[in-house]
Amino acid sequence: MPREFTRNQRLGNQVLRSLSELLRFETKDPRLQGVSLTAVELTRDLSVARVYYSMLDPNADAAPVQAGLEKAAGFLRGKLGQLIKVRHVPELRFEHDASAAESQRISDLIDGALNSDAGR
């Protein structure tokens, strides 16, 4: 009987949960307030974790948050090593998840089209 989830997926979910808690309770950087982690993708050899994040305000500039996350990456990786039981803690690479901003843009386009049709 095949397993439902691969080790890669299970570890990715565990990394996501642990990093979310660390960001919420352990970091003091004000740039990281209002940041939410959306997904973690691990490479096949589990050496690199791509951590996708979004912000509460989808139209806000992501550059300060990216800088704050890159600065906190070493601290987060160290704490992550204490929380999860793996031989090698993956390197953390953070990427902005712009899907919330894109969905807002599409929603605005649809609303504009509906309003222009209603005006006719």
CATH number of the structural domain spanning residue 92: 3.30.300.20
Q: pLDDT band at residue 57, thresholds of 50, 70 and 90?
A: confident
Judge whether 103 lies within some domain. yes
Tell me: pLDDT of 53 over 90.
Answer: yes
Q: Is 28 helix (H, G, I), strand (E, B) or coil?
A: coil
User: What number of other Cβ atoms are within 10 A of residue 36's Cβ?
Assistant: 14
pTM: 0.80
Q: Does a structural domain hold residue 39?
A: yes
- Provide mean pLDDT across the span 90-110: 86
Residue 20 lies in a domain: yes
Q: What is the number of structural domains in the chain?
A: 1
How much is the pLDDT for 16? Answer: 95
- The token duo for 11 is 């570890």
Q: State residue 48's pLDDT score.
A: 94
On whether residue 96 sits in a domain, the answer given is yes
The dihedral through the CA atoms of 96, 100, 106, 112 has a sign that is negative
For residue 1, tell me if it sits in a domain: no
Give the structural domain span for 59. 7-118
Q: What is the pLDDT of residue 4?
A: 67
**pLDDT tens string 58-88:** 778 889 999 999 999 999 999 999 988 888 9
- Structure tokens given for 30: 């004000």
- Computed over every residue of the chain, the mean pLDDT equals 88
Q: Is residue 2 assigned to a domain?
A: no
Q: Report yes or no on 44 lying in a domain.
A: yes
